Structure formats: C-alpha cells, structure tokens
Amino acid sequence: MRIGVHTSIAGALANAAHRAQAIGCDGFQMFSANPRGWRAAPPSEAGCETFRQVRAGFRLAPVAIHANYLINLASSDPAVRDLSVAAFRAELQRALALGADYVVIHPGSARDGERAPAVRRMVESLAKAADGLHLRGLTLLVENTAGQGAVLGASLEELAELLAGAARVMPAGVCLDTAHLFAAGYAIHTARGLTETVRLMESTVGVKNVRLIHANDSKTAFASHVDRHEHIGKGGIGLDAFRRIVRHPKLRRIPFICETPIDKPNDDRRNLRVLRKLSDLEQACLDCHSEDP
C-alpha cells in the first residue's frame, strides 16, 4: 500500500516533494498556495518544472493538492460563490501546471439550511470553474466532512449525490477522512462498525471511487460532528481500529495520507511510521504464527 503525509511548500513548491521523500513517503498531499487567502500569484513555470522533475525523480505517487479552505462552491451568497469559483479555477490551473493527480475539495456549506439547492450550486460552480480547461487526467476528489453546522458531505449518501453531480462535469472520485467519518457517526473504531461502513461505502459512493484516504485519528468523541485531528492511535479511533482499517482487503490498495498534527519535530515521520507498521501484513502473519499452540 502507498502511504504519505501532507507536506509543506515553505520555501519552494518542490520542497514539498523533497520533504515527502526525506521522511519516507510513497506519495504526498500539499497546498499549492496559501490555503486561507482568496488570491495567489500563479507559480512560475520554472518552479513548476522543478517540482515535476523532483517528484518524478523520487517516483512519488499520488500527488494530491488540497484546495483552499475558504472555498465554498455551495454558498447561497453570490459574492462568496464568485470568489470560490475563481479560487477553485486557480487551484485546478496550478494542479495542472504541477502535474498533480488529484485536487481535494471540501464540498461546502448550506448556510441557509437548504441542502438540495446547495448541492446543485456546488455542481454548477464546479462546472463554471472547470469551463474550458483541459484536465489531462487530473481528478477532483470530494472529501467527506464531520457534519459540523450546515456543511455538506457528512453522510455517505449525500457524498454520493455530490460525486454523481461532480462526475457529470469533470473526472471525479472521493477522498474519505477517517476522523471525519468517526465524528460524523460512522463507527469505524469497532470491527463491526468498520464492516458496516465499508458495506455502506460500496452501496453509496462505491469503493472503486475512493481514490484517497486521509488517515487521521480524532481528538473529539464519536459522533461529535467536530473536526479535530489527532496522532494515529492517540485519539478516539485508536491503534487497533487503524490496524483493521489499513489491512482491510477493500481499503488497503487505496493510498493513505496523514494530515495529523505536528506538535513537535518529526511528528509527521512518526505518524507515517506507525501507519506503515500497522499495515504490515507480513508482520501480522508472523505474529499469528507465533501465537499458534
């Protein structure tokens, strides 16, 4: 399985790839600009070329760009929606220039409480943002949410609806965040709950459409609807649950990316190492044999 982390672009875009390789990632996620600002200068062609060369040299895959946090393509406010469309179009353009595989986006919020119109606005805004662009294999990934406030995409059923709409206007899949699933009320921290959740994934979004998994433990309680990430094994989901998740036969071929906190130096390396150890099926077999009578 392929495992990575979200890495920083501080200093230069190519530094994200250098940092990913230095800590032992297979692939990685990054921002392509300030994630909390509406406008960003386009990256230089030289900077993009360097990024592409470094990424290819290290054979890092996949590479995902996480879209700006301010973007709300579902907004009922025309001014906010216009800003969001422009910002997301710029995200797509930067992702194309960098040769990224995926752009991950939060589906937005229905602040007026009307969810069905918000879903339609999100899809219409996607179409406007992508109009005229040749995406050349770049795939949009709609991320599930924890369900705080009026955000869309907390239920797998609604995420499937968003995916179906997005797929009509561009290549699309989903990104599932473990902390968001847990906070939204999916009991992935238990063996039975994980089985039921995967079964529901199959009947809604389709496991084949899950292109990326954000591997995050949760600082908040089960079904809290609050999005707070924690180190792998240190939160409400726990080590045993993550062992089941990364070894699940229908999930282990999907790339896992940690978005865990960095409270002290090398926390990203430690979380990566923990996840890789939990995913080691060969070691699991050795452990099973060592327990045989």
Q: Which residues are catalytic?
A: 36, 66, 69, 106, 143, 177, 180, 214, 227, 229, 259
Rounded to the nearest 10 degrees, the angle between the axes of helix 239-247 and helix 267-278 is: 60
Answer positive or negative: Cα dihedral of 67, 73, 75, 81.
Answer: positive
Residues 6+ apart with CB under 8 A from 276: 3, 24
Q: How many CA atoms lie within 13 A of 108 on its CB side?
A: 30
Among 41, 92, 47, which Cα is nearest to 65's?
92
Q: How far is CA 187 from CA 124, 191, 241, in A?
A: 33, 9, 10
CB 219 within 8 A of CB 271: no
Place of tokens 């899949």: 173
Distance CA 65, CA 220 (A): 26
Place of tokens 């926390």: 267
CB 157 within 8 A of CB 194: no
CB 180 within 8 A of CB 158: no
Give 4's strand partners: 27, 257
